[in-house]
Homo-oligomer: A and B are copies of this chain.
Amino acid sequence: MDTTELNFDIPRLGAARFDSPVGLRFIDDDQRVLYDSDRRTVQAALAAGRQPACFELAGPRRKIFFDPARLACGIVTCGGLCPGLNDVIRSVVFTLAYHYGVQTVWGFRFGFEGLVARCGHQPLPLMPDVVDAIHEDGGTILGSSRGPQDVSEMVDTLQRMGIGILFAVGGDGTQRGALAIAAEIRRRGLSIAVIGIPKTIDNDVSFVHQSFGFHTAVSQTRTPIVGAHWESKGVRNGVGLVKLMGRHSGFIAAYATLANSDVNFCLVPEVPFTLPGFLDALQRRIERRAHAVIVVAEGAGQELLQAGQQCDASGNLKLGDIGLFLKDQIQRHFEAVNVEVNIKYIDPSYTIRSMRTDSHDAAFCLMLGRHAVHAGMSGRTAMLVGDWRGEFTHVPLAAGVSQRKQIHPAGRLWDSVLATTGQPRQM
């Protein structure tokens, strides 16, 4: 990854003038978390007189920019569901109310639409008692929608409502939108902070080690993979085919494979394969063991589909359905070689992304929301709150949306997957 942007400080709205009411230990503004853990990389940078790439350490600051007594905040959730949306909303509201004493938090409804007056969605006032138990529910109490909205109209709304900090929870497209909002705010000379909270069940945000919901998603793959396993073993030459999330990055499929050792083939977007190569490897497995489980990320093998592909409202490329395609191709192949197979196709996505958080994500969302609030209160803007090797960090929005995090086909994660499945490195 290109890490040149990482040494820059995070933009700030101005000097932090108020004493923080938070009774925790404060973080110094110059505390930094190293991007690399490899000794040689860090030493080389220093030897060359360069700063090693690093992040600002997140956490409460002694001086804050906003006067809590007069501050109004807004929060918006965009894009598809992801476990933890309600946990994050709750943590942001609780931290603003209980740690800083902020009285006013608005929940914008249905994604960026809620920031556009024309759409007519009334924002929801978010008091602590409203959000007290929402983390036990899946989904988002604010509702969501896909796609961008007019930046100028959105900033009009923030200005009209006197919002001081906007928390934007969403993926790639949402964070691009947040960056555009921050730019328009700067153009207008307003004192509104924009704090992005990266939401990607695929875990594909650059410079963020693990995004919320990813862990829960991997946990939730156990049921469909176990199902595929028993379906495949319950008939002669059974094939269980499970399609998982992963538009451009196959982290869910890869970790699901490591966590469920019944998987025999793992297909991800980052590692291309040919149809004959895959079908040949599958046939050899079936001949040897009489059953197989395949996990395929939704974005894998797109080059094989050749469909006239379109984009959805969020601007995401509409993917051809690799699951149904593979099911069909496997069927044809084994018919051609006159071997009976029984394919069971499982697409569990909606029952994964709509679940509430597991314990890990519950704790993670709690802390992520807090660090987002600390960052906003300090007057930082145009940034993402992230985590890096166990520490919460500040990531410039521009860096976060600049490139996508992916599995390296020659790296240790993919090596682990290959060692687990026994599938050929080249198919």
Contacts and interface: CB of A to CB of B under 8 A. Distances in A.
A144 to B, nearest CB: 6
A348 B362 CA distance: 21
A261 B135 contact: yes
A317 to B, nearest CB: 19
Contacts of A389: 37, 389-390
B222 A359 contact: yes
Interface in A80-115: 81, 98-99, 110
B359 A221 contact: yes
A383 interface: no
Most B CB within 10 A of own CB, among A38, A42, A227? A227
A258 B363 contact: yes
B258 A350 contact: no
B81 A37 contact: no
A137 B350 CA distance: 24
Contact of A261 (B43, B259, B346, B366): B366
> How many of these chains are in the complex?
4
Contacts of A420: 366
B224 A351 contact: yes
Nearest to A99: B419
Nearest to A77: B234
| Nearest 5 CB-CB pairings of A with B | A139-B230, A138-B230, A258-B363, A389-B389, A259-B359
Given A221-B359, A224-B351, A345-B350, 19 more contacts: A24-B418, A32-B38, A34-B39, A37-B391, A43-B46, A59-B412, A136-B136, A138-B230, A143-B233, A143-B235, A143-B236, A144-B234, A145-B236, A215-B360, A255-B363, A259-B359, A261-B366, A344-B350, A389-B389
Interface of A: 23-25, 31-34, 36-40, 42-43, 46, 52, 54, 59, 81, 98-99, 110, 135-140, 143-145, 209, 215, 218-219, 221-224, 226-231, 233-236, 240, 255-256, 258-261, 344-348, 350-352, 354-355, 358-360, 362-363, 366-367, 370, 388-391, 410, 412, 415-416, 418-420, 422, 425
9 contacts: A23-B425, A34-B39, A37-B37, A42-B42, A143-B233, A227-B350, A227-B352, A234-B354, A258-B367
